[in-house]
């Protein structure tokens, strides 16, 4: 018997074969919140009629439809996170690669010159419970990731928020039966054992690594990484019955990093900011074992970044804070702008 509250809510996702053609969801995520909603553009006649004051129902018509909103999940160490990152970044990876003869599989998702969201679409279904314990299915098709945000702060779990835009909503599709990956754990602030600055990034066989670099001494109490992929989301036309065509990338994507830090070392961050220095960053979360000597891993590499803000101001007797804003760039080589590497027991993306 389901609960008559959010305790029985569910979110399922599946990649579409053809963007905008709904499929049956089969990958389910434990989630924190969602704000997906259907929106209609209404047209209302403005013509004057003698003796008529109020607008008439017969002269109101829907013009076009859209869906969109956010979905926030805690970042798990297995259970289909690769599917979300593929659609967030537009990465080309289709299947994970087994690491030796172990039970560990790796995925390298890239944002950069080769990433593309054309042809990528998701069907997302949300099960929303009524107080009578009836769980109603709301199914959204043609969903693309407009933006994403990864965040992790001291004493917190890592989270991933996706901002989605889609074609239409159906309430006629049946509620899919939810199933979840057994034993999935979560990455936390304590799992971020490696946070390095500097070094030289190279990409070989689709994997970017950084040689050298030094562990950051600046005490960073939290990190927020955001990505924005501008899309043309209003591609409506005659003959489409108010439904948009596939959203197309129409401006330059941006990846930024924000650190909530303490002023620990002037030379490490502030001097690079003043000198307009290009530097690499690497952040690695890991715990447990996905295979022999292979921990579960969530890692980020930014081969070429610019520190855009490193301001330091004293505001009282407490430890002096430092606001650090960073932007990732294309370094003009085969390196991506950003790599997200996952190591887990997942043998498929989703």
pLDDT at 114: 84
- Which of 237, 29, 235 has its CA nearest to residue 142? 235
pLDDT at 1: 65
* Calpha distance 31→142 (Å, rounded): 21
Profile the chain (350 residues) by mean pLDDT over runs of 10 residues: 92 98 98 98 95 94 96 98 98 96 97 92 98 97 98 98 98 98 98 97 97 97 97 95 96 97 96 97 98 96 98 96 97 97 96
Continuous segment of H or E residues that includes residue 330: none
Which three-class secondary structure state does DSSP give residue 263? coil
Tell me the C-alpha to C-alpha distance, in Å, between residue 309 and each of 223, 259, 267, 269, 327: 14, 10, 14, 9, 10
pLDDT at 2: 82
Tell me the C-alpha to C-alpha distance, in Å, between residue 312 and each of 63, 124, 265, 320: 51, 43, 11, 7
pLDDT at 248: 96
pLDDT at 75: 98
Task: Please count the other Cβ atoms lying within 10 Å of the Cβ belonging to residue 23.
Answer: 16
């Amino acid at each position: 018997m389901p609960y008559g509250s959010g305790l029985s809510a569910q979110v399922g996702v599946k990649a579409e074969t053809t963007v905008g053609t709904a499929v049956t969801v089969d990958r389910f995520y434990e989630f924190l919140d969602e704000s997906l909603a259907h929106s209609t553009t209404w047209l209302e006649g403005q013509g004057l009629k003698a003796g008529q004051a109020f607008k008439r129902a017969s002269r109101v018509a829907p013009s076009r439809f859209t869906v969109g909103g956010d979905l926030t999940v805690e970042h798990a160490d297995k259970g289909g996170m690769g599917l979300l990152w593929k659609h967030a970044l537009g990465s080309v990876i289709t299947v994970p690669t087994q690491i030796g003869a172990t039970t560990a599989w790796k995925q390298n998702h890239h944002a950069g010159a080769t990433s593309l969201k054309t042809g990528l679409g998701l069907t997302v279904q949300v099960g929303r419970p009524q107080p009578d314990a009836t769980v109603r299915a709301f199914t959204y098709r043609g969903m693309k990731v407009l933006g994403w945000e990864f965040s992790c702060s001291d004493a917190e779990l890592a989270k991933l928020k996706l901002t989605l835009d889609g074609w239409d909503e159906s309430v006629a599709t049946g509620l899919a039966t939810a199933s979840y990956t057994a034993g999935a754990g979560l990455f936390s602030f304590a799992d971020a054992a490696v946070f390095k600055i500097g070094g030289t990034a190279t990409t070989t066989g689709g994997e970017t690594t950084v040689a050298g670099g030094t562990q950051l001494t600046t005490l960073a109490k939290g990190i927020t990484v955001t990505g924005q992929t501008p899309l043309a989301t209003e591609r409506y036309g005659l003959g489409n019955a108010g439904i948009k065509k596939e959203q197309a990338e129409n401006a330059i994507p941006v990846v930024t990093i924000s650190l909530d830090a303490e002023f620990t070392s002037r030379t490490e961050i502030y001097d690079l900011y003043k000198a307009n220095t290009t530097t690499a960053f690497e952040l690695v979360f890991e715990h447990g074992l996905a295979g022999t000597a292979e921990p579960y891993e969530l890692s980020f590499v930014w081969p070429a970044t610019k520190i855009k803000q490193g301001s330091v101001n004293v505001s009282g007797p407490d430890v002096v804070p430092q606001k650090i804003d960073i932007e990732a760039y294309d370094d003009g080589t085969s390196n991506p702008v950003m790599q997200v590497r996952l190591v887990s027991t997942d043998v498929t993306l989703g």
